[in-house]
Structure 1
Amino acid sequence: MFSVIIVDDEPKLRLGLQTLIPWRELGFEVIGTAAGGNEALRIFEETIPDVLLVDIRMPGMDGLELLQKIRHRGWLSHVIILSGYADFEYARQALQFGVDAYLLKPVNKEELSASLQKIHGQLSKTQEKSMLQKTKTPEWILYSLLSGRYASEDSFLIEWSDSFEASWKTYQILLIGFSGSHQEESEQIHKFKDVLSRTYASERQGIVLYFAPYIVLLLGDSPVGELGWNELHKNLQLLSGELRFEMDVALGEPVRSLDEIIHSFRTARCLLERSFFYDKGRLLTEETPETYQKENVQTSVLSLPNKEEEAFRLHYLVDVGHASAISSFLNEIALQQVSEQADEKEIRDRFFYLANETVRKIHSRLWSLSGYPGEPAQFLAEVYHSRYIRDLVDRISVVMERLARCADYNSKDNEMKRLLDYIDRHYGDNLRLEMLAVLFNYSSSYLGQLFKSYTGEYFNAYLDRIRIQKAKELLAQDMKVYEVAERVGYSNVNYFYTKFKKLEGESPSFYQKKE
């Protein structure tokens, strides 16, 4: 990734530029922002970015003054000027400082992206040229193989393969990937790479290379068996002790010649790209089982057709205090998503939606009682940024179960009282005996018998009676009949008329006039 800093006195524009442009897709990383020239100079003194994106007119030190100072100190960053003024004189002065592009505000996304792509090409050529000027070390040759710069028939590659690695019978790529992309984390990664080089490369056990965004460890005569690989993985974790963020480790297939190294690399990279689907802390190989394996997915009564129905069910489980059913319910959704080959983003979005809908619907009192050390927004952010599917599901399960236990204020009462209380609070929803049976872990026929025995009424008759009682209260408040019907759970107003007249002996309109 090439580095970028954004300098503009307008906070909204700085934020907008960070979110508007797909920086990572274009091969860039925004490492800092500044509100003016002096602040930008302080950043340059610590780290010189590859690209400077700067407003030409700012209070204090403007963009042109900043450029003049940067060039005077010999800093050769590429520069894109932004201006709200179509001013030829400013453009002319900017160009004398070696500006790559001069763009007018408001910023056009496509135009800025095109300028960045052009700069990326120039930076890549410069980087490659610098690499070519280096001695043809094993690290450099490995870089060439992975980047496709050289083929196996090149003479220097043959010479290298006949050197100290000649005793290697096989070659195998081990890739280390990282979650972070901030500048300070990048520095830690490079320090970790140096530690690995001292450990492996110095003793000719392997070759270590930073091949962004990964650390590559090329091993010859790889460890034997699962025990050997587990020992190597443990060693890597010990060496990474100073890292303040997580890493994933993946192993490519073993190959027998240098020109096949790229295949081992690609295998490992594919595993890292799917690290979300594995348990945290595992050494990923082609044999490592994913957390939710497709062959374990079975059809169940809980399988639901869409996310709205899933959210509906999760909220009900929380609301009725059925904490014990939440984990298995969420795990089944995860299994189903994996079986349908949903990708990482789709699964994140699905579970974020479920968590958000439930948190949005519960009473604020429940959240304060749950003991979660933060606001709902913090919880939802943690959900969305969970790095592994198991962590994602478990994080939601734990909080939902806490909420359910708080909602279960009648836990020592019998379940029929809880059920009746639930109906009294949710009479306007599309309640069905079959759905409640699943929530309360009964068969629908058994729950129906239990309900009749406890209340003396069949479920539907009881629900109609509660709804009509609520309807009478609303009619007394002069609400329109069709509004009352919808509020108490009858989508068909004619059906509401029929039920009301059957139970009250008169139409809702007549009842309202009487009142």
Structure 2
Amino acid sequence: MMKTIMLVDDDPHIIKALTEHINWPSLGLSIAGTAANGVDALELFHRVRPDLVMTDVYLPGMTGLEVTQELRRDYPHLPIIILSGYDEFENARAAMRWGVNHFLLKPAEVEEIESVLREVMLEQDVRERRERLERTYKQEAGRVLPYLRKQFLHELLTTRYRADELPEARMEYIGFQIYDKVRAVSLQLNRPGFMTRMKERDWQLLRYGAADIIQETVKQQTAGMANCQVEVVDYSDQVFVLVMLGDKDYLEDLQDLVGRMIDQIFTYLKIEVSAGIGRVKDHPCEVIDSYLESREAVERAEFQGGNRIYHVETSEGMERSATDYSLLLHQWDEAWADLRVSQAEEVWLQLFQSLQEGNCASIQDAQVVAVSLFDTMMHSWKKQHPMLTPPLTMSDFLREIQSKYALLDLINWMDGVIKGWLEQIRKEMGEKKSNKLIAQVKHYVEEHYAEEISFEAIAKGLFVHPKYLSQLFKRVTGENFVSYLNGYRIQRAVELLQSGHYMVYEVSEMTGFRNATYFSQVFKMLTGKSPSEVG
């Protein structure tokens, strides 16, 4: 429906320009009328009741801000746009005080004016829609029942109830009927690599399409099925859950339903779906167990490919390799999350041995495992060393694994990549550990420089050999420990001498020099001056 706008300006050229140059129909607007002063504007407004008002600030009779103030008293949500050639802060502040969020300065470009009008229209549409929803909710509370049903089903999937704990009054209110049999199905949308890089908006659009197909398929397929119902739960970003309730177990019908969903989602959206079916249960409070079984079936079948239906009974008898990979990959992720390099190496040795023994169904499965391993290492590297280039980039890695046509070649190449990566990580960690040791030595000097310091005692306190610590200190700082210690002590001595509160021999003792003559010699050597010259 076309909305209307009233234009208010005492300059006829401005009114003419706005009327002729703004593409009002494309904005969904038409001009209800124009006025050249504030008094006429109020009279015209009450006569034509426009949806929007655009007004100049300085008008004969009363200003645009006064017009705004009058209109706001009776129409607090009326969109008002101030268009003025006076670039004054007070005008803008007064406009904001009366709820005007758009203040345009003349001369404004047509594109700018149209952009603001679109924004105002959108804000008004959002507000009107929200008001309609609130009115609808108050008038017809029953319309929110489907949402309450979905919320309750989500609770059943995540909360373990006893039969006597189910909220009967709530179930009765939302129309949830207790059937003799219940079974859950997990539908996992497999988001491939190229989709992980797409914009989130594009992925959500595909996900919305998948949800629509699931809902429509349920509606069509269950129309002729008596004494049962299928509820769809939007569980997470990549998982939908079907809950089938009935007076008996409708397993064959459920398999047909899920198979049709998988086919249509792949046909129209090119998204693979893995479906896991849990065991049938005898009461709705047990649906959580059926759901967990359905998730287990999907997870165990992780390396078997998408667009398939997996039963928990069948998945338990799957090849041991698939389960092992899933468990080992989880351990791999945990090891890298805490940067436990030795544990990561142990996990890889187990995977390497399993892959060499031929427990992988195909080279494609091995590539999936390799990508998962590398993705975890890359994520850890970016987290730990954001400014450093990784040993191998993701693009180079993907190009390499696609060039490996033999399973053994791929496994051996991956072995070299992981071992090289682990070696680099150990090197980086060694550097960090070395720097930490030196920082502890420096901290000790800062705390005890006035005392007699034993380097051997420092090394012993850090549980390292004095010779190793000495070499490490020189490599990291570029000077030996004695030079560093004397430099730090002289630095503090300069500060004490410049304060004018102490004699030279006092400063000598306060900075750890027990011999004033030696103190003077070191001071002169490092500063080029004698202590008395500084003090």
Q: What is the TM-score normalised by the length of structure 2?
A: 0.34
Q: Larger helix proportion, structure 1 or 2?
A: 2
Q: What is the TM-score normalised by the length of structure 1?
A: 0.35
Larger Rg: 2
